Amino acid sequence: MSQLEKGLEGQEEKVVREKSPSPTVESVPSAVYSDKWTKRLLKFGVEDRGIQPVPEERRTDTQFFKVFFIWFSWNINILTFSAGTLGPVVFGLSLRDTCLIILFFSMFFCIFPAYVCTWGPKLGMRTMVISRYSFGYYGVIPLSVFNLITMLGFSVLNAILGGQALASITNGLSWTVGIVVISLISLLVSFGGYNVLNWYERIAWIPVVITFIIALGIGGKHLSSPPAAEPATVSSVLSFASTLAGFAITFTGVATDFAVYYRHDVSGWRIFIYSYIGLLVPIVTLQSLGAAVAVAASTSVPEWQQAYEGGDVGGLLHAMLSPVGGFGKFLTVLLALSVAGNICATAYSASITLQAFAPWLVVVPRYVFAIITTGIVVALAIPGAHRFYDTLVNFLGLIGYWASAFIAVLLVEHHYFRKNDPRNYDAESWDTPSKLPSGIAAIAACLMSVALIVPCMHQVWFTGPIAEKTGDIGFEVAFVITVIFYVPFRMIERRIQGRL
């Protein structure tokens, strides 16, 4: 048995600490953690640790490259492909402009989750736990709600796309059945936890990459001569960029969840580079391919356009692969299954975030929440399946706002107030409200930014007066305003509380 597995099983240590509202696994001899069922699952490598920080002596994993495959497999799927189609389809951008926006803005957006991921080995804490050191014990609860909405939203979109793709190759299979099948496959991986997830993500990308290469070879002749388009406006560029922000920077809310078992002395640059490349390469490549295919479908390939009616991305991909007959159907199935790499990783983080949302559930094993999360995804995906594009645009546009404000607080707290020093995070205080910040400063700074986010929003259902002239600049404004207000608010909070 590896040192990591021993660390996951070691739940018997008793820790004497100040009484808190959320008892830890170590301090509460819960029957949940001592029954035969849990012990049996642990022997098979199932992870039960939830949001509890991982002690330094249990951070023993040295296979740091695994974090690359987590991010790569998470994003090498048809949801990433579909996000690229929004440039020409929704925002009216040319293929050239769409690809340039995807490249340069993604290069910037991917910095945030890749950097925060480097905190995992140093602190041994999940992202929502780290957030308690700025938002406070109770302030993280609404934050967890936003993070849950984000994670579940991504899972729902992926389940819809996977279900569409499976249904496109059969006459009798409905989108609903396809959604259920995809979700159950993903549950098997997220249920297993850290070890199973890392094993799966290390291999899941291989057939997907091969399939996209074959699809490019089959349909590439239609992508070589895109038609001329009107020059991009500032408004369309910034609005599309805001959508891309919702796709990339929201990974920051779960960034450390997959790095808490790595050795604490690993180079931060090493984790950053693995994470950054793992995020950037699939996002830029597949979003650009999605844009190219969408342009071709609307201008030169009627068969693709017909299959694409109603935002059926799965049908579009099947139409691309149809020239190779039955083999094309097989490849479409592989693309449908590609979303499992995203859903299982998302469900894993969502199961942890649920414990931050309801701290009293910390005594419940993490894998129980994986089952609950999957049930929620299926329940939401089925009614949303026939409104995919409206759902995608609204969802990606909105989640970028809260994520931007959240990142601003996290970065200022870590660098300005805690001096980028892990020793300034008292791991023993993670679940003790009286030893954590009140969170008033962080919440107040975020709320102050809302006043300017609204007039800067450009959504399908609302366009603010500033956004009418500039395009959507809500996520940029959210970041800047939050930083401006958080610094003085936090100083006042520290002076009143007399501690970090």
pLDDT of residue 164: 80
pLDDT at 306 over 50: yes
Checking if the pLDDT of 310 tops 50, the result is yes
The residue ranking higher by pLDDT, 142 or 13, is: 142
The residues, any chain, with a CB within 8 Å of residue 401's CB and separated by 6 or more, are: 453, 457, 474, 475, 478
Counting the structural domains of the chain, the total is: 1
Instruction: Give me the amino acid identity at 326.
Output: G
Residue that the structure tokens 């894993």 belong to: 348
Q: Does the structure show a pLDDT above 90 at 500?
A: no
Following CA atoms 362, 371, 333, 103 in sequence, which dihedral angle do they give, to the nearest 10 degrees?
-30
Q: Which of 12-16, 309-313, 452-456 has the highest mean pLDDT?
A: 452-456
Q: Give the model's confidence band at 351: pLDDT under 50 very low, under 70 low, under 90 confident, else very high.
A: confident
Would you say residue 488 lies in a domain? Answer: no
Which string of DSSP letters, residue by residue, matches 396-408?
HHHHHHHHHHHHH
Provide the pLDDT for residue 41.
56
Structural domain contains residue 266:
yes
Residue 210: inside a domain: yes
Burial group, residue 326, by CB count within 10 angstroms (0-12, 13-18, 19+): exposed
Kindly state whether residue 92 falls inside one of the protein's structural domains.
yes
Is 7 or 102 the better-scoring residue by pLDDT?
A: 102
Residues in CB range of 136: below 8 A, 6 or more apart: 433, 436, 437, 438, 439, 440, 442
User: Contact 306/145 with Cβ under 8 angstroms?
Assistant: no
pLDDT band for position 40 (50/70/90)? low
CA 183, chain centre distance (Å): 17
Q: Indicate the pLDDT class of residue 352, thresholds 50, 70 and 90.
A: confident
Helix (H), strand (E), coil (C) string for 169-234: CCCCCCHHHHHHHHHHHHHHHHHHCHHHHHHHHHHHHHHHHHHHHHHHHHHHHHCCCCCCCCCCCH
Structural domain boundaries enclosing 242: 45-388
Q: What is the mean pLDDT of residues 366-392?
A: 79
Say if 443 falls within a structural domain.
Answer: no
Are 47 and 322 contacting, i.e. CB atoms less than 8 angstroms apart?
no
From CA 295, how far away is CA 297, in angstroms rounded? 5
Kindly state whether residue 131 falls inside one of the protein's structural domains: yes
- What is the CATH classification number for the domain harbouring 309? 1.10.4160.10
Backbone angles phi and psi of 49, in degrees to 5:
-65, 135
Q: In the predicted model, what is the mean pLDDT of residues 45-72?
A: 88
pLDDT per position as a tens digit, 114-129: 999 999 999 999 999 9
The angle formed by the CA atoms of residues 289, 292 and 295, to the nearest 5 degrees, is 150
Is 496 among the domain residues? Answer: no
Task: Look at residue 257 and tell me whether its pLDDT is greater than 70.
Answer: yes
Digit-coded pLDDT (tens) for 441-476:
999 999 999 989 999 988 767 889 999 888 889 999
Question: For residue 352, is it within any domain?
Answer: yes
pTM, two decimal places = 0.87
**What's the pLDDT score for residue 290?**
94
